Structures are given as structure tokens and as C-alpha cells.
Amino acid sequence: MNIQTSTTAPAVSITSLDKTYDTGFQALRGVDLTIRRGEIFALLGPNGAGKTTLIGTICGLVRPTGGQILVGGYDVLTEFRKTRAMIGLVPQELTTDRFETVWATVSFTRGLFGKPRNDKVIEKILRDLSLWDKRNEKLIALSGGMKRRVLIAKALSHEPSILFLDEPTAGVDVELRRDMWNVVRELREGGVTIILTTHYIEEAEEMADRIGVISNGQIILVEEKAELMRKLGRKYLAIQLQEPIAELPGDLAAMGLTLAETGDELRYSYDSQSDRTGIANLMAALNARGVRIKDLSTHQSSLEDIFIGLLRDRT
Amino acid sequence: MNFYAIKAIYTFEMARWWRTVTQSIISPVVSTSLYFVVFGAAIGSRIESVEGVSYAAFIVPGLIMLSLLQQSLSNASFAIYFPKFAGTVYEILSAPISHVETVISFVGAAATKSIILALIILVTANLFVEIHIQHPVWMVVFLVLTAVTFSLIGFIIGIWADGFEKLQLIPLLIVTPLAFLGGTFYSISMLPETWQTVALFNPVVYLVSGFRWSFYGVADVDIAISLGMTLVFMAVALAIITWIFKTGYKLRS
Ligand SMILES: Nc1ncnc2c1ncn2[C@@H]1O[C@H](COP(=O)(O)OP(=O)(O)OP(=O)(O)O)[C@@H](O)[C@H]1O
Ligand SMILES: [Mg+2]
């Protein structure tokens, strides 16, 4: 591999990746996936879908049973020194050396990943993650959220160009989330590629450029977030009424209108991509009935709705 | 070579040891002193000398070897077992280090610790009985080879073990008995003839014999054979480790 390859190749490029555990369980089935340089990629999927396994194969924790993984154009098995040096990993489980200090454990990781000591870098990371005051404390004395911060600090200690966050915000308070996303944004601005898994779909919605959905060891969808929202997103129109009504007239219900429980709002759900949304007809019908409208607003379905819909469609 | 990684693991391991250094050092020193009181003073007063060496002095190399074997095994097996147990091994598995580098750092640290202890025991023993070392260079050679070999074996046990029981099993059931039967406290020539032959199947005999030769110039087996066997054990341990890493056995799922 020449240098050219490594600077133009995608951050991660996976082809026909299979993983069958020793138990005989097949956790990944023919996964093809390309992660672009500098993007934030969110991997969504239910428990046991294979997210952690997929990350494990890229980072060197899990041996693939088939297929190929390239990181920055280099094969993760034959050129693991190059690929692993590029990667920082924040694991899903909170595992720390209990009797080490924050400073020592973060510095240790930097060395482990082949970088010479650099106190300035470590200091910046600790400050960014609000860990600076705790630098001399033993890990055993830290709270869960603080340990999570330490794991993130460790993953960043060797200045990786690709960062994996495996459910970084599970069981984490608002403040840490905010700190973390600030760090992630800053990293992204510095050109770091970020791959995260999360169960908080609003997080993916807020942070990610692209979204992949994995289920039963298969990637069932990869899409630009905006595209995904546009393609699959159903919109609904909320019509606030001036006076509540007790019942929806039959012909209006037939048009697809529903009445909110409070009786003062009508909802009309439609596909924003279709040529005829039916809104004009609806308005005319409402007008004809003399329904007086206070306000109108449109709402887009969230990723969560899309995601649930996707999984439902497959089962 | 990822020297920064080797240094990181090595210093990490040494620092971990240093934190509990009093208990790491005091317990072997105390137990060695006890051996001296029991075997050296009590029994030694009834045994004049073995092959021209006073009994108390005769057992010193054996005692050092015994500690060296036990400490190398437990240091190395614990060093790799614990990260597995605690889950922190993910970091080592995802780091840009080769298997060779992993082994060098863990085994190097374990061997260093047990050699330091061996030297402390030597100094302690010197308080009880005057010791002259005839071949200091060879003494160091045997010390280092044995420490490294048994640290390698400890490393293998640490990778193989999936519970604390297994971690204790091999040292307790195999290595300690072999060490006691390996001429630690006596010369093989003191055994009946058939048992002398049986003893030659005990690897520890070669280690103790060679080590004792470096002190007093007397040995149960030829020094060249001792050295050769020590190297063979090391080669076997290395071969097993190579196999373990080739197959990814028990470290990567
Ligand atoms: N070491 C292992 N041996 C056998 N099966 C395993 C092993 N690790 C994971 N699995 C199985 O593989 C499947 C995928 O697990 P994985 O941890 O990748 O899921 P996940 O998508 O990360 O789930 P979660 O959201 O719960 O973290 C699960 O069914 C799990 O039981
Ligand atoms: Mg997971």
C-alpha cells in the first residue's frame, strides 16, 4: 500500500464480513459497509443485532470468520499496526483498572498505542472532558459517569483519526452528554471520523451525518440522515380548532383525519414526497363544513418512528 | 517494534507490583527464613554436609529456585489473567502491538519481579549462612533463563485459565510438587537408585542442579545437560505461546 491509498481511501471499508462465534452463533452475515472520512456515522439496531461485534472486528477484538476489513486502505489483519494506531475505541462496558489514577491510565493508553509521552495532549483531553480536577484520583473512587469520561479520554489519548463510541451515552447524565457531544463536534471539525452506536435515536438524529441500521447481523439500511428522513419520513399536519368538537364527521374521518383526545386538534398524516398530498382537498372540505381553524403546523416523524417502522416491516 | 507499548505495559506492571511491594517482598522473605529455621537449622544440625557443602548452604540455591518458579508463575499468570477477568484486556487487544511485544512486556515484567525477589532471598539467606558463589555469571544465566521460562509458562496459564481455581491449579498440583521433588532440599544422589532415574524426568531437577553448580561447583547432572534442558523448556513454552497466538485461543473471541 502506498501513502496515496491511505489518504484517499475511506476510513473503513468492509466487504462480505461474516462472524460466527465459537458457540456456533452467527453474529454478522455478509456485512458490506463503507464509512467515509470525517463523517459521523451512527449505527442503530436492537439489542443483540451485532453492533458491538461489528466494532470488535474492526478494532481487533473479534476475529472475523470471513470477508475483509480495510481501515484507511489497510487490511486490519495483515497491517494491524497501521490500522489500530488510527483507531480509538470507547467500549460499551465500563472496564477500568481500579487502582490506577486517571492521569496514569490515560497516559498508559497513549504509550500502548505507540505514541511518545505528551503531557500537553493529555491535559487538553482531561480538561475537555472535565476530568482535570480528578486527574490524581484512583478510578475506583470515580462514579460511573466519570469512569465513562475516563474511557473516552483513554480512547482519545493517542490522537486517533477514527473514533468508535459503543453506546457512549448509556446511563450518562445530561451534562456528560453535552460535554461529550462538544468533544465529538470538535473532533469532527479536526477531521476525525466518528462511528457511534446508540439506543437514543434522537442522538443519532442530532449528531450523525449518515445512519446505518443493523438487525440480526445484517446491515439493512445505510442512508444520509437527511435523505432517510425525507424518504421515509411521514409528515402530519396538525390543525388547531377554535372550538373543540365532540366527534369527527364521518366523511372527514374517511379522508384520513383523526381527532385528538382533547377534541381541539385534528391530525392529517401524509407522505410529503407524493405528488398529491391531499391537503388542498382537505382544506376545502373543512371550509365547506364551517370548521374554524385557529392554527396549522406540520410535523416530521422522528428517526425513532422510522426505525421502529423498518424493523416492524421486516418481521 | 512498538517500544512505547512495551515500555507502557512493563512500567504499568512494575508500578502495580510496587504499590504492594511490602507484601510482595515480605512474604517470600518470611517464608524463606522459615525454611531456613526448619531445614537449615533443625535438620541441618543432623546432616553434616552434602557433597562437601554444609546443609544450610546446600539448600540455598534450591530455595531460591523454588521461589523463583512460584513467583514467576504467579506474577505472569496473574498479570494476564486479571485484565481478562476485569475486561481491561480489550485495550491490549485493540492496540497496535504484536504478540511478541505483548509477551516481551508481560513476561519481562514478571521475570524482573521474580529475579528481584530471588536476589532478596539470596541476601536474606546470607544472613543465616555464608555463601560463596563460584560462577556468578552462570548463576545469573540460570536465574534469568528460569525466570523467563516460568514466566512464559505462567503467561500460558493466565491465558488458559477462565477462573481463579484454574489459575491456582497448575502451580499447586504440578509445579510445587515437582519443585519439592526436584532436589530443592536434597541431592538426587541421596535417593534410592530407581528413584534417581525417575527424578531425571522431573524438569526442575535440571534447573536446581545447574543453579546449585553455579554456587558450589557440585551438581546432580552434568552442567551442559542442565543448561540444555533449561533451554529446551524455554523453547517448549515459546512454542506453546506461538500456537496460542496463532489460533487466537481464548483471547480474541
Ligand atoms: N463472545 C461471544 N460468544 C458467543 N456469542 C456472542 C459473543 N458475543 C456476542 N455474542 C452474541 O452475538 C450477538 C450480537 O452481540 P453484540 O454484542 O454484537 O450485539 P449488540 O448489537 O452490540 O447489542 P447491544 O445493543 O445489546 O449492545 C448476540 O446475540 C450475542 O449474544
Ligand atoms: Mg453492544
For chain B, the average pLDDT equals 85
Domain annotation covers residue B117: yes
| A53, A113, A140, A159, best to mutate vs chain B, most B CBs in 10 Å | A113
Give the single-character DSSP code of A132. G
Find the farthest-apart pair of alpha carbons in chain B and give their distance in angstroms, rounded. 59
Domain annotation covers residue B75: yes
The backbone torsions φ and ψ at residue A73, rounded to the nearest 5 degrees and listed phi first, read: 90, -5
pLDDT at B244: 84
Distance A47 CA to ligand 2 centre (A): 7
pLDDT at A12: 93
Distance CA(A245)–CA(A288), nearest Å, equals 16
ipTM for the predicted complex comes to 0.84
Residues with Cβ within 8 Å of B239's Cβ and at least 6 positions away in sequence, in order, are none
Determine the 3-state secondary structure of A26 from DSSP. strand
**Minimum CA distance residue for ligand 1 atom 9:** A53
Domain annotation covers residue B70: yes
Number of C-beta neighbours around residue A288 at 10 A = 9
pTM: 0.82
Would you state the cell numbers that stand for residue A136, as one nine-digit string?
A: 490524581
Distance CA(A177)–CA(A171), nearest Å, equals 10
Which residues constitute the domain of residue B171? 3-247
Would you state the cell numbers that stand for residue B65, as one nine-digit string?
A: 529456585
Ligand located closest to A24 CA: 1
Instruction: Compute chain A's Rg from CA coordinates.
Output: 24
Number of C-beta neighbours around residue A280 at 10 A = 9
Domain annotation covers residue B242: yes
Number of C-beta neighbours around residue B19 at 10 A = 12
Determine the 3-state secondary structure of A274 from DSSP. coil
Lowest mean pLDDT among B28-37, B38-47, B80-89, B213-222: B38-47
Distance CA(B128)–CA(B124), nearest Å, equals 7
Are B93 and A61 in contact (CB < 8 Å)? yes
**CB A211, CB A204: distance < 8 Å:** yes
Distance CA(A57)–CA(B7), nearest Å, equals 27
Q: pLDDT tens digit string along B193-204?
A: 887 777 778 888
Question: Which residue type, as a one-letter code, is found at position A312?
Answer: R
**CB A90, CB A152: distance < 8 Å:** yes
Give the single-character DSSP code of A101. B
Domain annotation covers residue B90: yes
In what helix (H) or strand (E) does residue A17 lie, and over which residues does it extend? strand A12-20
The shortest CB-CB distance from B248 to any of A63, A98, A112 is to A63
Distance CA(B123)–CA(B126), nearest Å, equals 5
Closest listed residue to residue A81, CA positions, set A158, A190, A187: A158
CB-based contact (8 Å) between A88 and chain B?
A: no
Number of C-beta neighbours around residue B144 at 10 A = 14
**CB A307, CB A228: distance < 8 Å:** no
pLDDT at A278: 79
Are B12 and A108 in contact (CB < 8 Å)? yes
Residue that the C-alpha cell 525454611 belongs to: B35
Domain annotation covers residue B252: no
Residue B220 has pLDDT above 80, yes or no: no
What is the pLDDT tens value at each position of chain A, 315 positions in all?
A: 444 444 578 999 999 999 999 899 999 999 999 999 999 999 988 888 899 999 999 999 999 999 999 999 999 999 999 999 999 999 988 887 778 899 999 999 999 999 999 999 999 999 988 899 999 999 888 888 888 889 999 999 999 999 999 988 777 778 888 888 888 888 999 899 999 998 777 777 788 899 998 888 999 889 888 887 776 666 788 888 888 888 887 777 887 788 888 888 888 877 766 677 778 888 888 888 888 888 888 877 666 666 667 667 665
Residues of chain B with C-beta less than 8 angstroms from the C-beta of A81:
2, 96-98
Determine the 3-state secondary structure of A215 from DSSP. strand
Distance CA(A183)–CA(B113), nearest Å, equals 41
**CB A57, CB A17: distance < 8 Å:** yes
The shortest CB-CB distance from A112 to any of B5, B19, B253 is to B5
What domains are defined for chain A?
A: 12-230 (3.40.50.300), 234-304 (3.30.70)
Distance CA(B91)–CA(A113), nearest Å, equals 9
What end-to-end distance do the CA atoms of chain B give, in Å?
Answer: 25
**CB B110, CB B79: distance < 8 Å:** yes
Residue B23 confidence class, pLDDT cut points 50, 70, 90: confident
Would you state the cell numbers that stand for residue A180, as one nine-digit string?
A: 461529550
Percentage of the residues of chain B whose pLDDT score is greater than 90:
25
Domain annotation covers residue B253: no
Domains held by chain B: number: 1
- How many CB pairs (< 8 A) connect A and B? 76
β-bridge partners, A295:
A240
Residue that the C-alpha cell 376545502 belongs to: A284
Residues with Cβ within 8 Å of A24's Cβ and at least 6 positions away in sequence, in order, are none
Looking at per-residue pLDDT, the higher value among A31 and B183 belongs to A31
Domain annotation covers residue B77: yes
pLDDT at A302: 65
**CB B147, CB B114: distance < 8 Å:** yes
